[in-house]
Amino acid sequence: MKTSKIIFISLLGTIALLILVTAINIRMNGNKGGEPLSDSNFKVMKQPIRPFRVLCLNDNKNISITQGDSSYISVKYKKDFPVPDLKFTIKGDTLFLKDMNLTGITICASSSFERLNINNSDIILREFPGENSSGKLTLVMDQSTAYLNQYKSSTTVLNIDARNHSNIYASNYRVELLEITLKNSKSTFGSFTKKVSGSLYESSSFVVRQPLEIALKRDAGSKINVY
């Protein structure tokens, strides 16, 4: 293959990746359309909860997760509608949520939070975490989608274990060490990462933006793209 053709294909690949990262940014920060949640026609209900270490989400959509000094669940709803019923339980150090498909749900966790298990759910991590007791956040995903967005701080260690057509998109998310295992899943990390390690199996794909150090294993059907 001629050198000019190789350069052209590489350029197209880089442009495609930049377009994808931009789309991720829009997904996490933009308006999806329709009536804005901050409109005066909406109310906010805030339910304080006790601190938790583990969050388990099952069959939940459009959940935003952030970090603060206290733990609570909030939901925005139209003034003309009844107050939503928040379905959650806390057992020991674990918060469980199931079938919460309301619009505008935010879960705020304190510094004790360390692990997120999600099954058949869509989440957005916003400005999280700042600091916790272990300096590590573990994200276990099954048939789920996670958007990671963070500007003000960085995570020391982020451990991701994703399977069954899960997807992870990161934009402006700084992490010192990313430990990632993908099984039939995809991840795009369009943000700064010092070190990446992990494994890819079962036709997985991983796109990452120039880490300082990388140590990844993959099977024959999986792909790694560094740009």
pLDDT tens digit sequence for 6-38: 444 454 454 545 555 444 554 444 444 344 445
CATH number of the CATH domain containing 41? 2.160.20.120
Q: Looking at the domain assignment, is residue 123 inside a domain?
A: no
Q: Looking at the domain assignment, is residue 190 inside a domain?
A: yes
Give the strand order in the sheet containing 63-67: 42-48, 72-78, 105-109, 63-67, 122-126, 145-149, 167-171, 186-190, 205-208, 223-226
In this predicted structure, the answer to whether residue 57 has a pLDDT above a threshold of 50 is yes
pLDDT score at 132:
55
pLDDT score at 8:
45
User: Hunting for tokens 């060490």 — which residue is that?
Assistant: 177
Claim to verify: residue 46 and residue 108 sit in the same structural domain: yes
Kindly indicate the confidence band of residue 188, based on its pLDDT and cuts at 50, 70 and 90. Answer: very high
Contacts of 2 (CB under 8 A, 6+ apart): none
Tokens of 157: 């260690």
Range of the domain at 2: 1-30+135-227
Which range has the worst mean pLDDT, 12-26, 51-65, 184-198, 204-218? 12-26
